[in-house]
Structures are given as structure tokens and as C-alpha cells.
Amino acid sequence: MEETRSLYGGTPVGLVPTLGFLHEGHVALLEAAREECGTVVMSVFVNPLQFNDAADLERYPRNLERDVELAREAGVDMVFAPATDQMYPLPVETVVSVPLLSERMEGPHRPGHFSGMATVVTKLLAGLRPDRAYFGKKDAQQLAIIRRLGIDLSLPTVIVPRPTIREVDGLALSSRNVFLSPAQREAALALSRGLMATADAAEGGERDVRALERLVWSMMDGAPGVDPEYAEMATLRDVAELEHLDRDSFLAVAARVGPVRLIDNVHFEVGRDGIVADRGIPLERPSVLYSQDPQSAEGDNDAARS
């Protein structure tokens, strides 16, 4: 634990922002916060501002009751689940955007997504004033943007990155995985398998970024039912292009599989002894995601509360 005292007195307050419909990826963030903080707050807010696709917002899986239960089991002290008009009492005029880091990868595919995300994260950090806030490396570009806005806006919260949690067979955990049929789930493994192949190649000495991108792209492109959108490497700090794998970076992919758009990545750290790939952490048993039918989830936070 880096700090024992909060900026505001007492023990540190840790925040884990989520869109809800929790899985073990979220729980791992809650557990890390529980280890390091005296008070743990989880926010659940399906932020309309960051959904560029109205249908995706409409059908995003929700179940606040179950989220609260899982949060309680993980030792969370407070769940902050505001209604949309509590979060945005007036039409939003002030937005946060980090254009340079939003230029590539998810940016062009999801117009408005990152400024919506950056705006709500800034509001959560400014409003709840946590000492530490926990985010998954699964959303690598998002994490880079959040780190940058924290620096640019002089926000005092320490941003804590945590590894990607994967299902037993390697598929990165995502709330949207519940919408995959068994055949689509099998096809979706092309993403993680492709990324693991690049991790092996990089650790084996491959430094040509284009070759690594081509490797994962070809594994996704060759999989029936997988429609790849991009396979790109970027520097960790600036999400900038690079030719040679000689800096801390990540290789991110996105693909459509059936009704779902999936993203995943591996991180590469340059150490004294060469490249070390962070492949994420696989679960040892099936995810809690599948113990709940998302169809039974009703409405949004507003509806769940009424």
C-alpha cells in the first residue's frame, strides 16, 4: 500500500467506477481497492454520454440489485448509483476531451465515446474526490486518457491500473459477453488467441510492430464469424504509433462477433532483460456473468430505483 493517510484526513478512499453488470474483472478492481483503502466506493452509472450507439445503450445489461450484492461480498462500503438527471441536472455544456489520445483505435470507431467517458470520469473524481481510483488495463486507451486528464486538470486522485481478467479459455471478461451464442463465443476466442500469439512472438524477439499487428489481424480475419475492425500497437502514454517495439506499449484489437463488438489487448513492458508481455489473468472457474440472465435485468438505474 503506497499511502496510509487520505489527502482529506483518515484512511484513503478508493473509487471503482463501473457501468454495472459486474463480473470478476470489476470484482478484481474492488478487491484491489479493498486491500489499499480504508473506504471503498463503487459507482454504477450507465453513462448515456459515452454511448455513441443508441441501441447499444438501450440493451446494455443492467442489474443493480445483483451488483450491490457482489459489491457487498467484495467488501465495498458504498455504492453510488445516480439517476441520469442526478448526474446531469442540466444539459451538459462542459465536456472533457483528450483529442490526441482519442485519435486512433476506438476513437474513430466510436465518435464521442471518449469525451463522454472522460467527462463522466472527471465528474466522478471531482465529485467524490477519492484518493485512489481503479481502472482495468482491458480498456487500455481509456486508461491512457484518464491518466492524461488527471495530469492536465491537476486532479489529485492516484490512478491505479489493474490487469485484464480473462475467462477460463482466455476470452477477456466483458459484460457484453452474455450476448454471445456458444458458437460466437468460440469464434471470439480468435481475439485472445491472436493476442497471445503476438505476446509469444514479442517475447521471442519480434520487434517489428507491423509484423505483430499483422499476426493478430490474420488470426482474427481467418476466423469464421469474426469481423475485425483494427489491430494496432500504440505507446502506453500517448497512444502514439511506433515502428519498433522499444517502449512500453500495448497492442489492441477490436472485432464484431455476432451482435457484440469486442475489444482486447496485451501490454508490453520494456525491461532490462527484454520485453515482458502482460497477458492478463485467466479465471479458474466459469464467470459469475453467466449465472444471471441479462434479459431479466430491467431498465436503468432510474428504473431499478423506482
Residues annotated catalytic, as ranges: 26
> Nearest distance from residue 102's CB to ligand AMP, in Å?
16
What residues from 209 to 238 belong to the interface with ligand AMP (CB under 6 A)?
none
CA dihedral 45, 46, 49, 51 (to 10 degrees): 160
Q: Which of 164, 265, 287, 301 binds ligand AMP (CB under 6 A)?
A: 164
> Nearest distance from residue 278's CB to ligand AMP, in Å?
11
Is 139 one of the binding residues for ligand AMP (CB under 6 A)? yes
Is 138 one of the binding residues for ligand AMP (CB under 6 A)? yes
Q: Coil, helix or strand for 123?
A: helix
The count of chain residues that interact with ligand AMP, using the rule CB under 6 A, is 16
For residue 188 the three cell numbers come to: 471470439
Which single residue brings its beta carbon nearest to ligand AMP?
136
Instruction: Give the separation between CA 197 and CA 181, rounded to whole angstroms.
Output: 25
Query: Which residue, 257, 225, 298, 229, is CA-closest to 59?
Result: 298
Q: Which amino acid is at 43?
A: S
Q: Which of 68, 125, 172, 263 binds ligand AMP (CB under 6 A)?
A: 172
For residue 24 the three cell numbers come to: 470478476
Q: Which of 14, 130, 136, 150 binds ligand AMP (CB under 6 A)?
A: 136
Query: Residues 204-207: contacts with CB within 8 Å, 24+ apart?
Result: 206/245, 207/244, 207/245, 207/246
Is 267 one of the binding residues for ligand AMP (CB under 6 A)? no
Stretch that binds ligand AMP, among 99-107, 173-181, 191-199, 287-295 (CB under 6 A): 173-181
Instruction: Give the separation between CA 20 and CA 66, rounded to whole angstroms.
Output: 9
Q: Residue 219, Cβ neighbours under 10 Å: how many?
A: 23
> Nearest distance from residue 136's CB to ligand AMP, in Å?
2
Stretch that binds ligand AMP, among 34-42, 88-96, 169-177, 214-222 (CB under 6 A): 169-177
Is 135 one of the binding residues for ligand AMP (CB under 6 A)? yes
Query: Which residue, 219, 155, 151, 139, is CA-closest to 7?
Result: 155
* 5 to 44: interface string for ligand AMP, x by CB under 6 A: -------------xx-----xx-xx---------------
Taken as a whole, the chain contains a residue count of 306
Closest to ligand AMP by CB, 171 vs 245, is 171
> Nearest distance from residue 42's CB to ligand AMP, in Å?
9
Stretch that binds ligand AMP, among 89-97, 167-175, 241-249, 253-261 (CB under 6 A): 167-175
Q: DSSP letters of 199-256?
A: HHHHHTT--BHHHHHHHHHHHHHTSTTEEEEEEEEEETTT----SBS-SSEEEEEEEE
Evaluate whether 97 touches 114 at the Cβ level (below 8 Å): yes
What residues from 43 to 72 belong to the interface with ligand AMP (CB under 6 A)?
none
Closest to ligand AMP by CB, 62 vs 209, is 62
CA dihedral 52, 262, 122, 79 (to 10 degrees): 110
List contacts with ligand AMP (CB under 6 A): 18-19, 25-26, 28-29, 135-136, 138-139, 164-165, 172-175
